[in-house]
Amino acid sequence: MKKLVIATRRSRLALWQAEHVKERLEKLHAGLAVELLALSTRGDELLDQRLDKVGGKGLFVKELESALADGRAELAVHSMKDLPAELPPGFVIAAILEREDPRDAFVSSGFSSLKEMPEKAVIGTSSLRRAAQILERYPKLEARLLRGNVETRLAKLDRGEYDAVILAVAGLVRLGLANRIRSRLDPAESLPSPGQGALGIECLAARTDVAALLAPLADAGATACVRAERAVSRVFGGSCTIPLGAFAELKGPQLRLRALVAAADGRRVARADVVGDATQPEALGELAAEDLRRQGALEILK
């Protein structure tokens, strides 16, 4: 192959991610030209509504997958946390790249941490997972909807619409905005979203030629961790419509996987913490999900 086209969202972060993959591929395969096809998605356009109310994570990927299906692009680059746990038939994740810091970031002009914030202070987030974990520990704070790309969210914070916002560390680092981070939240305080911090490359399952070009980009450790995390999400529906966190860490030949399911108001939380064979990440994810079910996760979600 002499040319590949990457389908990507138009946000500055999505374009950075696509450019990163483009550079890696062109360096890896001499003579290969890689182009970007920037697309607007419904998830980027519906900025005044909660994603869980209008269709979930799939709103960020449908247009990109359409470009793969009709031949306008050969691959799509995603933040793995934005991908539904179940892909449509005929699509595969051909490579998961090495992972950036997967933690959540606390960003504020007036406070250095959540525990410093006074009663009724307003935290901005679009994530039910983040809001539930904040409200569990700090029930006197107010979690308020915050949508838009990273720059839009920071601008709303700087205008005083929020006292603090919670964003992914990875996105801020990739955009050169790490100086905005006041603190990085320990997973014990804010368990990340499945796949957070990892980039994934999607292509058609039938395009084994494309998959072969992408294979050298895959990171074995990140792949095992993300597969375990996504397995938990898959059991409970695999979208952003539920407050669910999952975070795996490679410990030699084993994986440690922490997962949680919470009520939206943070009043009920089920947690799992399991260890298993790193070569069987999906089995470990299913083990964690079963532990959550025993603790009443399905009742919490109802």
- Alpha-carbon dihedral angle through residues 211, 212, 215, 216, given to the nearest 10 degrees: -150
Q: Which residue has the tokens 């247009």?
A: 63
Q: Which carries the bigger pLDDT value, residue 207 or residue 40?
A: 207
pLDDT in tens, 149-195: 999 999 999 999 999 999 999 999 999 999 999 999 999 999 999 99
What are the residue boundaries of the structural domains of the chain, listed by start? 1-99+197-218, 104-185, 220-302
The proportion of the chain whose per-residue pLDDT surpasses 70, expressed as a percent, equals 93
pTM above 0.85, yes or no: yes
Of 41-55, 133-147, 180-194, 258-272, minimum mean pLDDT range: 41-55
82 catalytically annotated: yes
62-115 residue pLDDT tens: 999 999 999 999 999 999 999 999 999 999 999 999 999 999 999 999 999 999
Asked if 50 and 38 count as a contact pair (C-beta separation under 8 A), the reply is: no
pLDDT tier for residue 25 given thresholds of 50, 70 and 90: very high
Catalytic position from the list 48, 70, 82, 101: 82
22: β partners: none
Do domains 1-99+197-218 and 220-302 share one topology? The answer is no
The better pLDDT of the pair 43, 218 is held by 218
The neighbouring-strand residues paired with 274 are 257
H-state helical runs in the chain: 12-28, 42-45, 51-54, 62-69, 128-137, 150-158, 169-174, 208-214, 220-235, 281-294, 297-301
What confidence category does residue 242 fall into, taking pLDDT thresholds of 50, 70 and 90?
Answer: confident
The superfamily in CATH containing domain 1-99+197-218 is Periplasmic binding protein-like II (3.40.190.10)
At the fourth CATH level, which superfamily is domain 104-185?
Periplasmic binding protein-like II (3.40.190.10)
Q: Is the pLDDT of residue 128 over 70?
A: yes
Q: What is the mean pLDDT of the chain?
A: 93
Q: Yes or no: say if 68 and 163 are a contact pair by the CB < 8 Å rule.
A: no
Structural class in CATH, domain 220-302 = alpha beta
Residue, of 97 and 40, whose pLDDT is higher = 97
- 3-class secondary structure for 161-208? CCCEEEEEHHHHHHCCCHHHCCEEECCCCCCCCCCCCCEEEEEECCCH
Q: What is the pLDDT of residue 45?
A: 46
Q: What is the pLDDT of residue 147?
A: 86
Instruction: Say how many C-beta atoms besides its own lie within 10 A of residue 212's C-beta.
Output: 11
